[in-house]
Amino acid sequence: MDNPFITEKIKNLLPRYRQFLQDYVYPIELKVVSNPFRQSLPVLQELRNKARSEGLFAPHLTEEDGGPGLSLLEFAQISEVLGTSPLGHYIFNCQAPDIGNMELMHEFASSELKEQYLKPLQRGEIRSCFAMTEPGFAGSNPLQLGTIAVRDGDEYIITGHKWFTSSADGASFTIVMAITNPESSNQYERASMILVPLPNSSVELVRNISVMGESGEDYLSHGELKFHQCRIHISNRIGPEGKGFALAQARLGPGRIHHCMRWIGICERAFDLMCQRATSRSLSGHHMLGHQQIIQFWIAECRAQIQAARLMVLHTALAMDKQGAKAVKEEIATIKFFVANVLTDVLDKAIQVHGGLGITDDTILSFWYRHERASRIYDGPDEVHKSSLARHILKSYGMKFERP
User: Which tens digits make up the pLDDT trace of 224-255?
Assistant: 999 999 999 999 999 999 999 999 888 877 88
pLDDT over 60 at 1, yes or no: no
Domain 128-238 has CATH 2.40.110.10: yes
Q: 129: closest CA among 175, 163, 77, 89?
A: 175
Angle between helices 329-354 and 293-323 (to 10 degrees): 160
Q: Which CATH superfamily is domain 8-96 in?
A: Acyl-CoA dehydrogenase/oxidase, N-terminal domain (1.10.540.10)
pLDDT over 70 at 404, yes or no: no
pLDDT over 90 at 372, yes or no: yes
Q: What is the pLDDT of residue 2?
A: 63
- Give yes or no for a cis peptide into 199 (omega within 30° of 0): yes
For residues 175 and 158, give the distance between their C-alpha atoms in angstroms, rounded to a whole number: 12
Mean pLDDT score of the chain: 95
Residue 3 forms beta bridges with which residues?
A: none
Domains of the chain, residue spans: 8-96, 128-238, 246-395
- When pLDDT is cut at 50, 70 and 90, the band that residue 3 belongs to is confident
Q: What is the pLDDT of residue 253?
A: 79
For residues 322 and 332, give the distance between their C-alpha atoms in angstroms, rounded to a whole number: 14
Under DSSP, the state recorded for 375 is G
Q: What is the pLDDT of residues 15-51, one digit of tens each?
A: 999 999 999 999 999 999 999 999 999 999 999 999 9
Q: What is the pLDDT of residue 92?
A: 98
Q: Which CATH superfamily is domain 246-395 in?
A: Butyryl-CoA Dehydrogenase, subunit A, domain 3 (1.20.140.10)
285-311 average pLDDT score = 97
Q: What is the pLDDT of residues 310-338, one digit of tens each?
A: 999 999 999 999 998 888 989 999 999 99
Q: What is the pLDDT of residues 109-154, one digit of tens each?
A: 999 999 999 999 999 999 999 999 999 998 778 788 999 999 999 9
Cα dist from 379 to 142, 217, 257, whole Å: 10, 22, 12
Decide whether 128-238 matches 246-395 in CATH topology: no
- What's the whole-model pTM score? 0.95
- Between residues 253 and 67, which one has the greater pLDDT? 67
pLDDT over 60 at 5, yes or no: yes
283's enclosing H/E stretch is strand 282-284
